[in-house]
Each structure stands twice: as structure tokens, then as C-alpha cells.
Chains A and B, each alone.
Chain A
């Protein structure tokens, strides 16, 4: 961490993040996570209420 060039790069990165489009694997991960999470929550809520 004590490398001035590396720090400079990181500071620049934090201000201007390089554009990195979301790839299929990321979209799948986010979609499956949300879908599974919400489905399990609904099932758990249903089971607990009955």
C-alpha cells in the first residue's frame, strides 16, 4: 500500500472508475440471487404463518 504510483492509480480509479459492462455471469448471479431469495422468503413466511 505504500507505493505512490499504486495509490495514485487507486485514487484515480475511485474518481473515474473504468467502464466495465456487466457480463452474463454477473447478471445471472444477481438475478438468481434475488429470485431465490424472494421465493424462499415467501415460502418461509407462508410456512411460519401456518
Chain B
């Protein structure tokens, strides 16, 4: 495993920012770290990146225990939340300097900086002062900085915050290549649930410092969505007959008209038997025009599991 956390806790006097966080992540995985503001995402990342010392628990990066922070820093790459940049330096100078801080020779730092600027699409602006970079370019420069040491684990804290859709897509493309081509583990903290559904293989949801969900996007969505709500659409004039027909289907429970939507019926059930419902309606000659299932999206799970809901 590239990343292992066991009962990791960070407390500030009486405030417990992260409470007994445990999870593991393998090579090439993209872990989405979700939670409302103040849930403990940034604190968790700062602990895992050795900026903050844990109050209790332990973690290891690429098998290196948290008690050896300098060695861990050699194996991780980080794009911090609200990362700042020296405006007077050029992108190439910035990367060369940080490569030297990671112990690379001047020649190696130059080559690494050039390759990474190419990888994140900044090669043409390599000699421009960072002051002239857009927010999206700065974020990509920050990601390039996080990759200087060819890390085993990359932590990206809100990498697409404030970016336009094109900028978000560029960053997500880089994230995919980090996990795909470099086979590094990526921990992606974000509020953009669409991004998580798009690029993450797993999701962790934090709420008030507690881990409330850990699994694939589909698993988490399914678990949190129970009980679900299904909506059937039938011809408006056949609504009463449809109610009687659907009430005969096992497991559907109470069937009621959907207020304000003519022809729509609502049922609450953990697993809606759509085929059974269609058969029951067909048996009395009522066509099933449409079916909607609520509560199967990550956003529903997120809202159900956090105080944001």
C-alpha cells in the first residue's frame, strides 16, 4: 500500500479536527476526499504530509512510518490549499529551485523542470514571471512542483478551486495522468462532486472530523441512498388504476401521486423492482412511460452523510 492511516487523530486543545481516520490506498488509486468546510480535509492532508504532527494514531507513506517525516517528504508531492508563488520568479526558476531543494543537481533540476512544464502544458510560458500567470496556470505549476520528486503519493488540496471549466478539465487531465502514467496514488480534496465521480476510484467522506464513508463512488452512493425514492410516469387518466396495480408489487410499499406532476406516482423503497412494476402495470393495460430513481448520485450520498445535507 502506498498510503496507510490508522486511527489518525489531530486535536487542538478541545477541538478534534480529525478523529481516528483509518484508510489505505494503493498505487494508481485516485482517492476523493470530500466533506463540508471545516470537516477536517485540509487538516488530514497536513497531517499526512508531515506539516502537522498527529495527536494520536499513525500513518505510513510507501512503507515509511510517520515518525520519519523528512523521508516521507521525499516520497510525497503536495499542492497545498491556497498555495502562494513568488511572483518575480519565472515558472522554470521556481521549479528548478524546488528541484534543488529535493537534492537534484543543477543539470537534473533544469531537465526535470523542463519536462514537467511540458507535462502540465506550461512549456511556452516557462520564462514568464509567475506574476503574469492565470490562476489555472498557477495551479498547474503547483501540480508540476508536486511532481518534481516523482512521488509515490500526491496530495491535491482543492486544485480546481476558482478555475473555469477549461481550466478544471486541464487539471483533471493531469490528475488522470498522475495516476495512470506515473502509477502514483492521488488524494484529491475537493468540493466538486462531479470531479470526484469523473476521476476518483474511491471516495472518503469526512464530517466533523469523522470518516463517514469509504468506498467506490458507486458503493458510497448506493449505501447512503437507502431508502430510495422511485417515480413512475403513467398516462394521467390511468393514474388511479396504476396506483392499485403498483400496490400489488412486493416491496414497493405505499404508492402515492406526485403532487404537482400529472401522471407521476411516487414510491419509497430500498430497491425498486422496476421490472415487476412494469409487469404489474402491463397486466392491467397501463403503459409505463418513464421511471426516475432518486438518491443514486454521489451528491445525494454526500448530503445525506454530512451536515451540509
Q: Do A and B bind each other?
A: no
Q: Tell me the A residues contacting B by CB distance below 8 Å.
A: none
